Amino acid sequence: MTDGRSLGRPAWLGRLPAALAHPLTSDRRLVVAGGATALTYAALILSTFPEFSVQLLARNPGDLLYGVATLTRETYRSVGWIGLGLIVAYALLAGVAATHAVTLSRRARRRNASTLLGVLPGFLAAGCAGCGAGVLGALGFVGAMATLPFDGNLLRLVGLSLLVFFLGRTGDPRTCAIDRAESS
Amino acid sequence: MGDERSISRRRAIAGGVGVVALGGSVAYLATRSDSDAGVYVPERSHTSQETTGFGVELAGRPIAGDPDAPVDLYYWTDYLCPFCAQFDQETLPAVGRNHVDTGEVRLVALSYPNIGEYSMPAAVWSRCVWSQVAADDPAAFWRWHASVFEAQPESGTDWADEETFTRITEETEGVPLGAVDDCRTSRTEEIRESMDPNVAVAQSSRIRGTPGFVLYNRETDTAGKLVGAHPYENFADAIEQVLNA
């Protein structure tokens, strides 16, 4: 396997394809990634208007699909395709990150807890992207995101980039990455 | 073990199909058309100078329904808010016909400008339109109100400007554009300041987004709150709860 750094690219970028392909390495990982993606999308969309979502689901949990559908349209009409696309992209990456977390936590249980610590920054980045996608709404006006640069899309992009970086840094979580420049 | 380590064609196809399905579903949900229930024009509208038991100032605000209705429905809205448009077009007609026109609920339209730069000017337009038609042709206000929400495009807030609101006002039967413009010229500051107390009532009720609603039983002094474009059934249940409280 070619090391990314030898091609003049950052090492994490070279490992990114393997990281993104990890859910495709077993049926169970694919199912976990799909489930985590769906859950993350629902959570992010519902968090764009938390007051509404809590009321809706408290009255009737069966209205979950109504809430997701309604807020998907509301999000599109508020921030357009770019904002909605960033949320979808984040949900997909969160699905990949979930399979990494399962694999790494198994490794951590077999070896030592320090491996698990490597997962934490990725999840913190995930949380950051979550903020960008909607948790700010819980702290004030639902229109709070509209006051941020590019209607909050810049913040979403930063969160998404952090998640991509941490996924790339992990690479294929079944293997230990060796940075050739540091090891030589 | 080989299955555990390799990326099979089958899983790659399944993953690709999943991504396309997610993208397609989101695109469908984002762009599906409103289930438009028609324009709601209340059978009766009226004015009032009172401040309600809940602390809402009614002077200059559009009020629909029976003045003696047992329940008040305070409706905080922003003409630039897509969620408000959804409520107005999909749910308000049913709430109006089943609860306002029957004398059960009095609907008070209140401004809560919070979405974009033109939210406040739009709210001023609204108050000025009402001030010109309330006495003789209050139905014209509700036609104007519905036309503004109908003018919202698929996405964005750029549509809201002087030109669009002038056109809508001009095209709404029964609304005198010249008098509305005079009102905007002379009363904008006064109207802006008069919005603060009712926005403060919304905020003290922990309403942080639009559309926001408070249902208030005027006889028993009890209230309930809804935030967002809930389905009609939730409004019907909430009205019944407050009515029986």
Query: What's the pLDDT tens digit per position in B127-153?
Result: 999 999 999 999 999 999 999 999 988
Q: What is the pLDDT of residue A184?
A: 39
Does residue A183 fall inside a structural domain? Answer: no
Residue from the list B22, B155, B234 with its beta carbon closest to the beta carbon of A76: B155
User: In angstroms, rounded to a whole number, what is the distance separating the alpha carbons of residues B75 and B111?
Assistant: 8
Give the model's confidence band at B1: pLDDT under 50 very low, under 70 low, under 90 confident, else very high. Answer: very low
Question: Is A25 close to B6, i.e. CB distance below 8 A?
Answer: yes
Of the given ranges (A8-17, A81-90, A122-131, B197-206), which has the lowest mean pLDDT?
A122-131
ipTM score over 0.85, yes or no: no
Query: What's the pLDDT tens digit per position in B20-49?
Result: 999 999 998 888 776 666 789 999 999 999
Q: Domain range spanning residue A120?
A: 11-175
Question: Is A72 close to B154, i.e. CB distance below 8 A?
Answer: no
Q: What is the pLDDT of residue B185?
A: 93
Q: Which of A37, A53, A142, A153 is best to mutate for the B interface (most B CBs within 10 A)? A: A142
**A172 neighbourhood in chain B, CB within 8 Å:** none
Reduced to 3 DSSP states, what percent helix, strand and coil does chain B have, rounded to the nearest 5? 50, 15, 35
Maximum alpha-carbon separation in chain B: 82
**B157 neighbourhood in chain A, CB within 8 Å:** 146
Query: What's the pLDDT tens digit per position in B223-243?
Result: 999 999 999 999 999 999 999
> Which pair of structure tokens corresponds to residue B128?
């000025």
A123 C-beta neighbours (distance < 10 Å), count: 16
Q: Is the pLDDT of residue A125 over 70?
A: no
Of the given ranges (A28-42, A90-104, A166-180, B76-90), which has the lowest mean pLDDT?
A166-180
User: In angstroms, rounded to a whole number, what is the distance separating the alpha carbons of residues A63 and A58?
Assistant: 9
Q: What is the pLDDT of residue A161?
A: 81
Q: What is the pLDDT of residue B35?
A: 65
Does residue A92 fall inside a structural domain? Answer: yes
Question: Is B209 close to A73, i.e. CB distance below 8 A?
Answer: no
Q: In the predicted model, what is the mean pLDDT of chain B?
A: 91
Number of domains in chain A: 1
Q: What is the pLDDT of residue A126?
A: 55
Q: Is the pLDDT of residue A164 over 90?
A: no
Does residue A6 fall inside a structural domain? Answer: no
Does residue A4 fall inside a structural domain? Answer: no
Min Cα distance B122 → chain A (Å) is 16
Q: Which comes out higher in pLDDT, residue A107 or B25?
A: B25
Q: Which amino acid is at A49?
A: F
Q: Is the pLDDT of residue B96 over 60?
A: yes
Mean pLDDT of all residues in B114-124: 92
For A35, the closest chain B residue by CA position comes to: B18
> Quick check: helix, strand or coil at residue B62?
coil
Mean pLDDT of all residues in B41-61: 95
Does residue A3 fall inside a structural domain? Answer: no
Residue from the list B5, B12, B114 with its beta carbon closest to the beta carbon of A143: B114
Does residue A181 fall inside a structural domain? Answer: no
Min Cα distance A127 → chain B (Å) is 21
Does residue A78 fall inside a structural domain? Answer: yes
Query: What's the pLDDT tens digit per position in B162-209?
Result: 999 999 999 999 999 999 999 999 999 999 999 999 999 999 998 988
Q: Which comes out higher in pLDDT, residue A3 or B59?
A: B59
Helix (H) or strand (E) holding B72: strand B71-77
Chain B residues with CB within 8 Å of chain A CB: 3-8, 11-12, 14-15, 18-19, 22-23, 26, 29-32, 82-83, 86, 114-116, 152, 154-157, 206-210, 226-231, 234, 237
**B26 neighbourhood in chain A, CB within 8 Å:** 41, 72, 84, 88
Residue-by-residue DSSP string for A100-164 = HHHHHHHHHHHS-THHHHTTHHHHHHHHHHHIIIIIHHHHS-GGGGGGSGGGGHHHHHHHHHHHH
Q: Which comes out higher in pLDDT, residue A48 or B162?
A: B162
Does residue A137 fall inside a structural domain? Answer: yes
For B29, the closest chain A residue by CA position comes to: A69
Question: Is B226 close to A55, i.e. CB distance below 8 A?
Answer: yes
Q: What is the pLDDT of residue A183?
A: 43
The pTM of the full predicted model, rounded to 2 decimals, is: 0.79
Of the given ranges (A42-51, A130-139, B26-35), which has the lowest mean pLDDT?
A130-139
